[in-house]
Amino acid sequence: MNHHVQLISRLARPGESKIVLLVLDGVGDIRTAEQPQTALDAARIPNLDALAAGGALGRIVPVAQGITPGSGPGHLALFGFDPTEPTADIGRGVLEALGEGIQIRPGDIAARGNFATADAAGNLTDRRAGRIPTEECVRLVAAINAKLKDVREIDASVYAGEGHRFVLLLKAGATPLDPNLADTDPQQIGVPPLPVAESAPFAASTAAKLRPVVEAIQRAIANEPRANRALLRGFATVPHLPSVPDLYHMRCGAFAGYPLYRGVAAACGMDLVPCGKSFAETVAAVREHWSKYDFFFLHVKKTDMAGEDGDLATKIHALEDVDAILPELLALGPDVVAITGDHSTPAPMKGHSWHPVPLLLWSKQCYVDDCKAFTESAAIHGAIGTVRSSELMGLMLANAGRLAKYGA
Q: Which of residues 87-146 bind a copy of itself (CB under 8 A)?
A: 89-92, 95
Q: Which range touches a copy of itself (CB under 8 A), out of 17-25, 32-40, 121-129, 323-331?
A: 32-40
| From 13, 14, 32, 103, residue interacting with a copy of itself (rule: CB under 8 A) | 32
Q: By CB under 8 A, is residue 346 in contact with a copy of itself? A: yes
Buried b (16+ CB within 10 A) or exposed e, 370-385: ebebbbbebbeebebe
Q: By CB under 8 A, is residue 358 in contact with a copy of itself? A: no
Beta bridge partner(s), residue 360: 57, 339
Q: Which range touches a copy of itself (CB under 8 A), out of 138-146, 151-159, 196-204, 365-373?
A: 365-373
Q: Which range touches a copy of itself (CB under 8 A), out of 145-153, 162-170, 281-289, 344-352?
A: 344-352
Residue by residue, DSSP assigns 70-131 as -HHHHHHHHTT--TTSGGG---HHHHHHHHTT----TT-EEEEEEEEEE-TTS-EEETTTTT
Which of 18/352 has CB closer to a copy of itself? 352
Which of 154/306 has CB closer to a copy of itself? 306
377-406 positions binding a copy of itself, by CB under 8 A: 377, 380-383, 385-387, 391, 393-399, 403-406
Nearby residues of 369 by Cβ (< 8 Å), 6 or more positions away: 55, 56, 57, 381, 382, 383
Q: How far is the CB of 404 from a copy of itself (least distance, A)?
A: 8
Cα(343)–Cα(76) distance, integer angstroms: 11
Phi/psi of residue 214, nearest 5 degrees = -65, -35
Q: By CB under 8 A, is residue 149 in contact with a copy of itself? A: no
Nearby residues of 213 by Cβ (< 8 Å), 6 or more positions away: 148, 151, 153, 154, 156, 168, 170
Half-sphere exposure of 14 (CA within 13 A, CB side): 5
Which of 198/342 has CB closer to a copy of itself? 342
Q: Which range touches a copy of itself (CB under 8 A), out of 62-70, 98-106, 149-157, 182-190?
A: 62-70
Could you give the string, one character per residue 226-245, with x where binding to a copy of itself holds by CB under 8 A and - elsewhere? --------x-----------
